[in-house]
Amino acid sequence: CPQNNPQVSRTLATCPFNARHRVPRSLLRGHLTSCPDKLPLELPPDPEDMAKTAGDPPQAWQPPPCQEDWDAGEAPAVSPEPLL
Domain ranges of the chain: 1-37
Contact present, 21 and 32 (Cβ < 8 Å): no
- Taking the model in full, what pTM does it have? 0.42
Model pLDDT for residues 18-33, shown as the tens digit of each residue? 888 989 999 999 988 8
CA 63 to chain centre: 24
CA-based end-to-end distance of the chain: 88
- What 63-69 contacts at long range (C-beta under 8 Å, 24+ apart), as own/partner pairs, is none
Model pLDDT for residues 41-55, shown as the tens digit of each residue? 676 777 766 655 556
